Structures are given as structure tokens and as C-alpha cells.
Amino acid sequence: MGPRMKNPAFVLPDGMKGIGALFKAIGAGGLSHAVQEITALRASQINGCSACVHAHTANLRKAGEPTERVDSVAAWREAPFYSDAERAALAFTEAVTRLADRSGDAVPDELWEDVSRHFDESELAALLLSVAVTNMFNRLNAAVKEPAGATW
């Protein structure tokens, strides 16, 4: 099964320029690669984006993350493999990704305070931008039916 069309980010020449600038900003934010990847994996799991789940799982394995950390992201609350900072980032990711499910603030003050204890302003900005970009790609890939294993 192939995608309906080429990924829109690649169809419009300026699309990847803007996305590339966001990735550059995220990279300059000081957020660890592991946190970027586990949060991107979690958002992609929530959104059912098989292409991104596959890609972030592969990225984590390539970076040498232990199997139990990669395999347990969907059950991070019950798994002992994550630091307090990573748990805060994963909770933050879920809140930002599930905006339509909220009945109060998108990110409750208590969660904001928790994630802010673990990440400075630059890291927090990078985390929020990373989650936002992941959600954007999840939506693009879902719409065009990008299959798992696609290479970009």
C-alpha cells in the first residue's frame, strides 16, 4: 500500500524550508535527543501515525536506547525506565497532543510547573515546538496514508 500522494511538505518547495528552520531552532534549544524522540514517539502513538511511530522507534534504536525504553513508551506511567524529567515531558506531550480531549486548560498549571522544574525556558520551547511539529507531521501522514517504513 502506498501513500495517496507525496508528502505535502515536499510538494511545496518552501514547505521544507520552514520546517527545516523549526528543526534547526529545536536543535538549538538544548533538549536531549532522547527526550525529543520519546516524546515524538508518544505523540505519534496517540495520533496513530504508523510512519512516525516506525521512524521514531528506529531513531531511538539507532541512538542506542535500551529496548525496554523504546518498547514501553506507550505505558510510560507504569514502566520504571524513565526519569522524572522524561515523565514530565511525556505528560506534557500527551496534554499538548490531546487538545480536543480537554475539559480545562490545555496544559494545567500543575503540569506546566512540573515540566518547568525539569527544563529551562529554551528546552521547554524546544519541547513544545518538537511536539507541535510531530503533531503536524502526524496529521499530514494520516491524511495522505503514508505507510510505516517510508523514508524521507
CB 134 within 8 A of CB 44: yes
Distance CA 52, CA 47 (A): 10
Which range marks the domain in which residue 130 is found?
A: 34-144
pLDDT tens figures, 59-108? 999 999 999 999 999 999 999 999 999 999 999 999 999 998 888 889 99
Residue 7 lies in a domain: no
CB 76 within 8 A of CB 90: yes
Here the CATH number for the domain that contains residue 55 is: 1.20.1290.10
Distance CA 116, CA 85 (A): 9
Residue 91 lies in a domain: yes
Residue that the C-alpha cell 506507550 belongs to: 74
pTM, rounded to two decimals: 0.94
Nearest CA among 140, 135, 53 for reference residue 100: 135
pLDDT tens figures, 10-39? 898 888 899 999 999 999 999 999 999 999
